[in-house]
Structure 1
Amino acid sequence: MSGDLDQTAVGFGLDPVDELPDTAGSDSAPAPAPHVVVIGAGIGGLASAALLARDGYRVTLLEKQLTVGGRVGSWEQDGFRFDTGPSWYLMPEVFDHFYKLLGTSAAEQLDLVRLDPGYRVYFEDQPDPVDIQSSREANVALFESLEPGAGRRLEKYLDSAKGTYDIALKRFLYTSFESVTPLFVREVVSRLGKLSSLLLRPIHGYTARVGRDLRIRQILGYPAVFLGSSPFTTPAMYHLMSHLDLEDGVLYPMGGFVGIIRSIERLALAEGVTIETNAPVTRILTDGARATGVEYRRDGATRTLDADVVVSAADLHHTETALLPEDRQTYGEAYWRKRTAGPGALLLLLGVEGEVPELEHHTLLFAKDWTENFDAIFGRNPSVPDAPSLYVCKPSGIDASVAPDGMTNLFVLVPVPADPALGTDDAERERLADRVIEQIAAWTGVHGLSARVRVRRVIAPSDFASDINAWQGSALGPAHTLAQSAMFRAGNRSRTLENLFYAGSSTIPGIGLPMCLISAEVLVKRMRRDISTTPLAEPLSPTVRPRRAAQPAPAAE
């Protein structure tokens, strides 16, 4: 993959490269490279730090928690190890490209296994589940068995999904939209009619092209939840997600998703990044139109750290409203009052005695009253649905490292309203968890599930708010509605401070691990003043300072 080099310029505001004299070959030592402070060591912050260090900056990464990872957490008890965040490995080419920018590859860093079936779906009041297969051909046959003619229509739907995905990857994901000029190319202009149509209608209506059977529409519409939204408000543009799970297939990194975080942390350290954990940032320091550094807490003391550039990969609402003075805010409270948060989540981490063959690695439970279910979460009077649609991950089926022999590891995610008060009452969260466990057992036929639970932890929106400063306790970030997608999503640069930038799920291109990796690359392009839409050339070549002697990227442990 390569960027359009003729459109690339180095610098941000007053270019630090231009400000520093070239002292190579002189008696004096070279001036140090510009210093970047990155706030937040979730995957977006780690990736940003690693790429900026490779680009030649000195980088310090500050993280509030004791460990890096942000939403991609890990928890262990009694021989069970749980991922506490993302669990779907999609868009593998995005991961591989990111690793190649750092001189390695996904194959070198991760042990990836293809899931077959990709996932299982249970439908309320339907006796038999549906297994989504790992190939397009098998899924076409599956849809045909659900509704005559649906297989043929799915073929056209997937052709459209792949075409939309390809154009999004090439023209809309790897850009900051600082300039729209690169978008005026034939392959975009020729598709403007279709793209506009896809943006202006919800995905729920678009799925009717494939079939009227509710099962079909739920399978095709549910990926909207991965985007922090509802199929009734998510633009049909995102039907591209069906290319990922129905055609590309679903992978799993052995050892869990925390292994992805550990690999990026190793790569960042190898690039020279300084990482400080247990160091919550309390203020971004400013002087006029520039950020001058940050104030943070460490070992009970308040400290300051000077910076030539500040990058916040923390929650954008928290960054803007808690770390900046009101007159320096680009996205103040008035902005957020008009925005839609993605759903909150009730997470259940369950260590279960015995095997649970009724569940696949990924299992979805879909409520019959689809409209009411989503209205309860996103409507004007939000509440936890009585029988919610939900998701269960069972990694122990293929990964022995996550549970003791003969035991089952279950991660349950229940979409709930984004409400930071939800979960503050311990008794309430446990009652909700009991109800969810009973629902899973009743719908899937798992015998005696509640009595077999040996390890249990419940995480609620209140935990997301306190642990990672998530806006409204959202588990994902701002929802991907039309007004919060692509060029309409919050940008990655402050409009009041010329050297303050953003990365992560709150900003472009959006929610999910692949999007956060892309956000780190778009950050680098923005700081270089690169307005191209295509990914950068592999491996990343430094533009700020010549690199020290090349070091091989550290391999997976």
Structure 2
Amino acid sequence: MSAQTNGSTPSPTPPRTIVIGGGIAGLASAALLAREGHAVTLLEARPEVGGRAGTWDVDGFRFDTGPSWYLMPEVFEHFYRLFGTSAAEQLDLVRLDPGYRVFFEGNPTPLDIADEREANIRLFESVEPGAGAALARYLESARETYEMAVHRFLYSSFESFGPFFVKDVLSRLGRLGRLLLQPLDKFVAGYFTDPRLRQILGYPAVFLGSSPDQTPSMYHLMSHLDLVDGVLYPQGGFTRLIESIAAIARAEGVEIITNARVTAIRTQSRVSRGGVLGARRGAPLGRARVTGVSYVTADGSAVSLDAVRVVSAADLHHTETELLPERLQTYPEPWWNTRVSGPGAVLVMLGIRGELTPLQHHTLFFTEDWGDNFGRIFGTTPSIPSPASFYVCKPSATDASVAPEGHTNLFILVPVPADPEMGRGGIDGAGSPIVEGVADATIAQLAEWAGIPDLAERIVVRRTVGPADFSEDLNSWRGGALGPAHTLKQSAFLRGSNVSKKVDGLYYAGGTTIPGIGLPMCLISAEILLKRVRGDVSTGPLPEPLAARGSQPVQELPGR
């Protein structure tokens, strides 16, 4: 922030806030705090921002290496409008029709999910008599639950439960209780008999890092997103989304430093009139306050940076167990030992010669033994499913810029147990034997189920990513691809807080804290962070646009 030069008193320089991690949550958090008037420095360990939403360019192909579904468009729109712009101004969005295609083991006829509600009702009716009317009821429930979630739960920090004692929540307590306690698969089974329809409505659990038998049926709200709202795609890929948010952050004054690997969150013990809290005769120290961070640059230089606040948008497990001493960890290792990780993943990026007409932009492949598939991923003795259910993205169906002319861009995600011991991926088969074996088996399965017998012969570019890559490159807990699973005990306020209980001035954002997994959730997480810093306990989205405030004075942090 520059001082005034017209003779008036210079504006005081606000205290620095440091954001750790340049994924979508870190970028969004930095942008919101800067607009609020904070002096923000963002530190990203890798050479580029984006985190899981990365990109890989090779031989004329451009691959999104992470998220590929643009759902909850109103969340993106709201975020942009907070800054006085819009999704239409920032992105070139295309509506996909069909939204996605689903292949089923043992059934040669796939089902196409349309981009609007009535067509999907007709589709369900064609599969199972009476299922059309059942889907209408199901989607009405999903809509009502989704609207309740957006206005009362998703944007809440759960700092206070007072705002929940309102008529529209209290009148639905019985129903909300049932939706929380009943698993999604049982809820879906109450509406439909055909296993294909049950799988279509149960699969959104995977987006939440869980399985249909462990995910609360509250999350049937997800079906409102794809079966009613439809699926969009930003031309240029999801790297365009990251670029737009990074540009907003810079425009708000955020300093972004890449190749800056944070090694510690620096703190100072609280001092009271009686001296250092809890320091008598070697007793454990009490609360502390943030003083900054230490980081290492690309050339190995060590740097210390002072700050009055630190926001970690990095993996929460890494933040707590690696960047803080044990005595200051709100979520120490024993806490994590009781948690459930979302799935790991083997990613396969393929450049293919020619077209693959059986595939849509999004295509899902479901095995017949649904329970065995998820049991192998989340069970007490995990193993790699074979055959596996998996997801394929063909962005070149919509975006000519992601592949050379006459070629196809293919991204495959195979959910596997979260286990870094599976190893890393590599280029042209150079990954670990387990990761490359999963890739080979999936390519063969895709070729057989979709009727593309020469698929392997047409591959001109190949890269794999394994659980160890997520662990080592993204500091992901247990090598998971997404974060802690959205089970009952890991949803809403039970997921954990976005503020440290032991270090004043330390906050959290991103998919490993509230509200949870996914690009829209990460944007909401950034907004919840701003609310927490403000002391705002409201439960809905902030008013648009967000007023740009002047420099923030040094504020007394809690506990000082």
Q: Same fold (TM over 0.5)?
A: yes
C-alpha contact (below 8 Å) 2:262/2:296 kept by paired residues: yes
Shift of 1:432: 1.6
1:396 equivalent to 2:396? Answer: yes
Decide which of 167, 170, 177 is 1:189's aligned counterpart.
170
Decide which of 451, 455, 461 is 1:455's aligned counterpart.
461
1:537 equivalent to 2:543? Answer: yes
Q: What corresponds to 1:145 in structure 2?
A: 126
Aligned-partner Cα distance in 2 for 1:543–1:509: 26
Decide which of 135, 146, 149 is 1:154's aligned counterpart.
135
Shift of 1:541: 1.6
SS in 2 for 1:355: coil
Shift of 1:534: 1.1
C-alpha contact (below 8 Å) 2:236/2:401 kept by paired residues: yes
Aligned-partner Cα distance in 2 for 1:449–1:232: 34
Q: What code does the residue aligned with 1:290 have?
A: R
Cα deviation digits, residues 358-390 of structure 1 (max 9, x gap): 000000000000000000000001111110100
Q: What corresponds to 1:84 in structure 2?
A: 65
Aligned-partner Cα distance in 1 for 2:373–2:208: 17
Q: What corresponds to 2:557 in structure 1?
A: none
1:295 equivalent to 2:283? Answer: no
Aligned-partner Cα distance in 2 for 1:290–1:273: 23
Output aligned runs, 1:208-287, within 5 Å.
208-287=189-268
1:119 equivalent to 2:125? Answer: no
Cα deviation digits, residues 187-235 of structure 1 (max 9, x gap): 1111111111000010001111221110010000000000000001000
Aligned-partner Cα distance in 1 for 2:225–2:23: 24
Q: What corresponds to 2:558 in structure 1?
A: none
Q: What corresponds to 1:304 in structure 2?
A: 304
Aligned-partner Cα distance in 2 for 1:531–1:24: 39
Aligned-partner Cα distance in 1 for 2:323–2:522: 21
Using the size of structure 1 for normalisation, the TM-score is: 0.93
Output aligned runs, 1:131-530, within 5 Å.
131-288=112-269, 289-298=288-297, 299-424=299-424, 426-530=432-536
Shift of 1:91: 0.3
Q: What code does the residue aligned with 1:181 have?
A: G
SS in 2 for 1:492: coil
Aligned-partner Cα distance in 2 for 1:33–1:100: 25
Q: What corresponds to 2:88 in structure 1?
A: 107
Cα deviation digits, residues 137-171 of structure 1 (max 9, x gap): 00000000110001101000000000000000000
Aligned-partner Cα distance in 2 for 1:26–1:486: 51
Change (3 A) 1:281 1:192: same
Q: What code does the residue aligned with 1:410 have?
A: L
C-alpha contact (below 8 Å) 2:31/2:252 kept by paired residues: yes
* Residues matched between the structures, number: 525
Shift of 1:431: 1.8
C-alpha contact (below 8 Å) 1:199/1:237 kept by paired residues: yes
Aligned-partner Cα distance in 1 for 2:185–2:345: 22
Shift of 1:428: 2.4
C-alpha contact (below 8 Å) 1:72/1:84 kept by paired residues: yes
Q: What code does the residue aligned with 1:396 have?
A: S
Shift of 1:28: 4.9
Cα deviation digits, residues 72-112 of structure 1 (max 9, x gap): 01001111000000000000000000011112111100000
Aligned-partner Cα distance in 2 for 1:419–1:138: 40
C-alpha contact (below 8 Å) 1:33/1:544 kept by paired residues: no
Decide which of 45, 54, 79 is 1:73's aligned counterpart.
54
Q: What code does the residue aligned with 2:465 have?
A: I
Q: List structure 1 segments (4+ residues) > 3 angstroms apart after TM superposition.
A: 23-28
SS in 2 for 1:534: coil
Using the size of structure 2 for normalisation, the TM-score is: 0.92
SS in 2 for 1:194: helix
C-alpha contact (below 8 Å) 1:153/1:209 kept by paired residues: no
SS in 2 for 1:100: helix
